[in-house]
Amino acid sequence: MNTKAKLSQKALKVKESSTLAITARAKAMKASGASIISFSVGEPDFDTPAHVGEAAVAAVKAGFTKYTASSGIPELRSAICEKLENENGLIYKPSQIVVSNGAKHAISNALAALLNDGDEVIIPAPYWLTYPELVVLHGGVPVIVKTDKTTGYKASATQIEAAVTDRTKALFINSPNNPSGAVYNKTELEAIAKIAVKHDIFVISDEIYEKLIYGDDMPHVSIASFGKDIFERTIVINGYSKSHAMTGWRAGYTASVPEIAEVIGNIQSHQTSNVCSIAQKAALAAQIGGQGCVDEMRKQFLLRRDYMSERVAVIPGFDALVPDGAFYVFVDVSKLYGKKTDGAEISNAAVFAAELLEKKGVAIVPCADFGYDTHIRLSYAASMDDIKEGMDRIEAFVKDLK
């Protein structure tokens, strides 16, 4: 039987992540005894703060282990509203918040609520690799707007407007950005908001790295905060994975106008029901507890960002900006094209990554699936010792190229 031919055409369009291959190879090398440094991870290396874990343990002990309201426990949805009002100037009622299984699930819910087959979704590149795959899975068509280093890898309102067609349904904004670390400022976002309102398109604003911005004079701004017209069209995505080192707990959310929130809630009620009851109690503790832990992690990331950026800046052939947010350095390696290791010619970032892993045991992410095949992503969600050792190895690898 030709099984594949019978499967969902939409599902078949979803690609395997190219980063999986490198992660699998790094794991296999490690298992066979090789010394591997990983700069490939997309999660904080810190432990979840103790008070968050304790809240989860208390929830288990109290028997808080049954179904909850599908869109989330009321106290968590209220706490999220307070956060959005106090920190982002956004006023929602608890009924407008849907707590989901991480920001990824929140994005999937948002797309499920918005898209009809053939609807276009504008995605500035570089982008988090999941966006286009989820757009496709929900019947949409990703429209990629490529940015470059001269604008700090940020899309301008003009570029976005040029990509708008009569099929455009939505636009992704991700600030701070994975993989570039770019942070959009108020002026840039205001201009983009005007375009979204003018053309009546929705904005999916992924703010998951909100707490990881390194400039003091650089506040996080939500695009939803520029008045009623853009507020109505924006679905805010956020969660606890990056801010509170809670990637495994799976707790994120959408905030949107009642009409959208209701549809998202309905979808989730049939697809997954509530987020794990215990994880919701943990997320509540993260939201209402002291935020000193968040600031402490940010300080550590800042030290690592500075160190890694300094090392990257002096490697011949590497070209990168110092990232303003998130925990990645986004490096153009195209100047090294044509150079050779003793086994291969560097013809793209994927070959660079594969060779670096084989020769020096450093795992990094080649960014073709992030819309940029000339770049690599180095995560500094790693210990300072590993960052030092890994950068020594990368520098030696590049110097050895002929």
Min dist CB 12 to ligand PLP, Å, is 24
Closest to ligand PLP by CB, 92 vs 128, is: 128
Stated length of the chain = 402
Min dist CB 395 to ligand PLP, Å, is 27
Min dist CB 247 to ligand PLP, Å, is 5
Is residue 119 a contact partner of residue 289, using CB atoms and an 8 Å limit?
no
Closest to ligand PLP by CB, 102 vs 124, is: 102
Closest to ligand PLP by CB, 236 vs 398, is: 236
Buried b (16+ CB within 10 A) or exposed e, 92-105: bebebbbbbbbbbb
Closest to ligand PLP by CB, 272 vs 334, is: 272
- CA-based nearest residue to 52, from 208, 238, 244: 244
Min dist CB 176 to ligand PLP, Å, is 8
DSSP 61: H
Min dist CB 242 to ligand PLP, Å, is 7
Residue nearest to ligand PLP (CB): 102
Closest to ligand PLP by CB, 280 vs 341, is: 280
Torsion angle (degrees, nearest 10) of CA 70, 76, 77, 81: -170
- Tell me the residue type at 244: H
Closest to ligand PLP by CB, 154 vs 360, is: 154
Min dist CB 86 to ligand PLP, Å, is 21
Task: State the Cα–Cα distance between residues 152 and 257, nearest whole angstrom.
Answer: 31
Closest to ligand PLP by CB, 22 vs 398, is: 22
User: Phi and psi dihedrals of 192, rounded to 5?
Assistant: -70, -40
- CA-based nearest residue to 154, from 198, 112, 204, 188: 188
Min dist CB 69 to ligand PLP, Å, is 20
Dihedral class, residue 159 (left if φ above 0, else alpha if ψ from -120 to 50, else beta): alpha
Min dist CB 102 to ligand PLP, Å, is 3
Is residue 282 a contact partner of residue 247, using CB atoms and an 8 Å limit?
no
Closest to ligand PLP by CB, 110 vs 160, is: 110
Task: State the Cα–Cα distance between residues 100 and 253, nearest whole angstrom.
Answer: 5
Min dist CB 343 to ligand PLP, Å, is 31
Closest to ligand PLP by CB, 212 vs 315, is: 212
Cα–Cα distance list, 179 to 46, 135, 365 (Å): 20, 19, 10
Task: State the Cα–Cα distance between residues 47 and 199, nearest whole angstrom.
Answer: 44
Residue that has been written with the tokens 């979808």 in this structure: 267
- CA-based nearest residue to 227, from 248, 197, 203, 251: 197
Rg of the chain's alpha carbons, rounded to an integer?
Answer: 21
Which residues, in sequence order, are CB contacts of 111 under 8 Å at separation 6+? 121, 134, 135, 137, 138, 140, 170, 204
Min dist CB 223 to ligand PLP, Å, is 15
Closest to ligand PLP by CB, 102 vs 390, is: 102
**Footprint of ligand PLP on this chain (CB under 6 A)?**
42, 102-104, 128, 174, 178, 206, 208, 239, 241, 247, 252
